[in-house]
Amino acid sequence: LDVLVCHRVSENLVWKEKPEFGSEGVLQACSYRKCFCRSCGQCRGFILCSTPKSLAPLKNQFCLSKQGISCYCLKDGSTVSASIVNFYKQSLSTCVDDLKLQLVVLHHRIASLEEQLNEALEKRHLPL
């Protein structure tokens, strides 16, 4: 699939309520809803409703065709087709590992603050 997968999109993208069913190609055995640009009305991608196991991670995500999207380059202010842009792909396991580390750090901070609070209360002879 030559698509850009998004969890959220702007209100400029609308989709059909009634799903269609793929009978050939990558979308064979999938039900999906086509997404359209609100301004020009052209199809820009799809949302997978039901999929074979291989496409299950894309279910209920916005799959936007790279050919139908232009990207604005911040460095020079130019506009290019998304099909020629290399998008950074971060694996889910990397995100989960980062979140675990952040949780451990926060847990240690909370434990330290609890100790400081207990010490301050003990100095004042106040019950917890």
pTM of this structure: 0.60
Taking a C-beta distance cutoff of 8 angstroms, is the pair 71, 79 a contact? yes
Q: What is the pLDDT of residues 47-69, one digit of tens each?
A: 999 988 888 888 899 999 888 88
Alpha-carbon gap, residue 128 to 121, rounded angstroms: 7
- Distance of alpha carbon 73 from the chain centroid: 21
Alpha-carbon gap, residue 8 to 46, rounded angstroms: 13
CB atoms within 10 A of CB 46: 26
Token duo for residue 127: 């019950």
Taking a C-beta distance cutoff of 8 angstroms, is the pair 62, 9 a contact? yes
Q: What is the pLDDT of residues 65-115, one digit of tens each?
A: 888 888 888 889 898 888 887 776 666 677 788 889 999 999 999 999 999
